[in-house]
Amino acid sequence: MSASERPRSKQEWLEKVYKPSVERFPEREDPMETSYARPVEPLYTPEDMDGWDYHESLGYPGQFPFTRGIQPTMYRGRLWTMRQYAGYGDAEETNARFHYLLEVGQTGLSVAFDLPTQIGYDSDDPMAEGEVGKVGVAISSLADMELLFRGIPLEKVTTSMTINATASILLAMYVAVAKKQGADLRKIGGTVQNDILKEYIARGTYIFPPGPSLRLITDVFAWCKDNLPSWNTISISGYHIREAGSTAVQEVAFTFANAIAYVQAAIDRGLQVDEFAPRLSFFFAAYTNVLEEVAKFRAARRLWARIMKERFGAKDPRSQMLRFHTQTGGATLTAQQPLNNVVRVTLQALAAVLGGTQSLHTNSWDEALALPSEGAVQLALRTQQILAYESGAADVIDPLGGSYYVEKLTDEIEEEAIRYINRIDDMGGALAAIEMGFQQREIQEAAWRYQQMVDSGRRVVVGVNRFRTDDEEPPKDILRVRPEVVQRQLERLRRVRDERDNGKVQHLLGVLEEAARSDANLMPVIIECVENYVTLGEICRVLRRAFGEQKEFMVF
């Protein structure tokens, strides 16, 4: 083809080159569209960028609006923190798993708590029967927390705790353990999830109504500002929104709508935005469509910087930075041909790394079947280490920046997320929209649409609706919580109640109830309670009496 015959525009290329080729090689029938139902064009060029300006839209790493990364050096200076979410059975078993993970190269701990702990019941409560230690570690008192971190110096290891309704209590226990170790609280680093609004939207492990729940969250903000300055006081989670079936756009939009509500609640409590915003952190999912996920992370960074600067007037650059943890997509893992999950997790982890995450958890291949086995956990961690040291993905900052397709997706996701946030603002904010069932309905519709495509075969899930085999046998070596471990947990709790000063316990529970019915910050009294071995269930019983319990939002 001579120079005069070369296409002078994308449209001319489509007409003269692409379409004649399609006649010979018809396009696949798979839906060429994003998770948020935008069509994917066959080619992207500068013509798709709508006045795209390199310096304004991209900029440089470490500079507003942080599209290319929040730090000037990113992984050239320091790799992401490699965390493996772990917790099962009792504190003794989980402590052994923590030591194993640290020995094989994990650089931060991430704690999963069982369902009774998440919703405020002790392990011996009738409501906890059958659930103790099943989806995480059982923590009922400070004795459990002491055992959980036995032999682990908290000044030297950062810990992420996936806990929400009872976050203030678990953080109080962590602080008590650190004090017993003689640690300097100003050096204690980690994160407590502490994100209750997404529980009302997608997950369901709430206890109290929204008002008291937000009060507990802002109490943590205020107390940590003065006492635990290196702690991330909240991890605002899009992960569970995505796992409930949302699109990538909804994950960003609903997460940021919740974040706006938390920031406003803290300001309404009298905190200055730059006093607490640098300690806000986020938690996102990474799914298998690598380029869409990379664009999602880049769009989220840019959008959050603008929200904090333009909406809340944050002046400290640290307040404008989106610091986030990523977990690979648990809902994408399949029980059919489970070893395929190794490939899925690798792609998802690559998306998180190319997208600039600050820490990462890689799911284990057997998690669609049971709690992850030790060998599967090691392979998941090795996946991160291979990406870090062998793939080259960490050698350059924002390696996909400037890709026409990635930049177009980045712009689209930001624009669509802004539309959602504006709709939620018009409804009166995230909580009002939740009470109307808006986010829940949107997620349900997105999940239904995706499942319809899987059921019809238009969306391929390898090993599930295509490329199946008839001779599959489930793995035999999967992890199960042993009954004797549950009995050991119950016996430990009985000893705690027998050996503590029960007179002081009753006094402190009265002090807690009085404080809960006032506007005092509850963190100091909760810390005093747990230091005297008041149990999580006893604290929550008092708070239920003072605050009431939240009933499920009805979505019509």
Helix H or strand E segment including 241: helix 239-243
Strand pairing of 359-361 and 324-328? Answer: parallel
For Cα atoms 111, 118, 511, give the angle at the middle one, nearest 5 degrees: 110
Tokens of 488: 């050991």
**Is the CB of residue 48 less than 8 Å from the CB of residue 325?**
no
Tokens of 492: 């430990």
Q: How far apart are CA 60 and CA 552, in angstroms?
A: 45
**Is the CB of residue 424 less than 8 Å from the CB of residue 430?**
yes
Q: How far apart are CA 301 and CA 26, in angstroms?
A: 38
**Is the CB of residue 257 less than 8 Å from the CB of residue 241?**
no
- Pick the closest to residue 277 from 243, 240, 322, 328 (CA basis): 322
Question: What's the per-residue H, E or C state across 519-531?
Answer: CCCCHHHHHHHHH
Q: How far apart are CA 397 and CA 286, in angstroms?
A: 19
Over residues 295-346, the pLDDT tens digits come to 999 999 999 999 999 999 999 999 999 999 999 999 999 999 999 999 999 9
Note the pLDDT of residue 2. 58
What three-state secondary structure class fits 497?
helix
Q: How far apart are CA 301 and CA 93, in angstroms?
A: 38
- Pick the closest to residue 172 from 543, 494, 546 (CA basis): 543
Along the chain (556 residues), what's the average pLDDT of each consecutive run of 10 residues?
A: 72 86 80 87 81 64 93 92 83 92 86 96 96 93 98 93 96 98 95 95 94 95 95 95 98 98 94 94 97 98 98 97 96 96 98 97 92 89 96 94 94 97 98 95 97 94 92 71 88 97 98 97 98 98 97 66
What pTM does this model have?
A: 0.90
**Residues 54-453, CATH architecture:** Alpha-Beta Barrel (3.20)
**How far separated are the first and last CA of the chain, in Å rounded?**
60
Q: Going by C-beta distance under 8 Å and a sequence separation of 6 or more, which residues neighbour residue 152?
A: 95, 98, 99, 102, 109
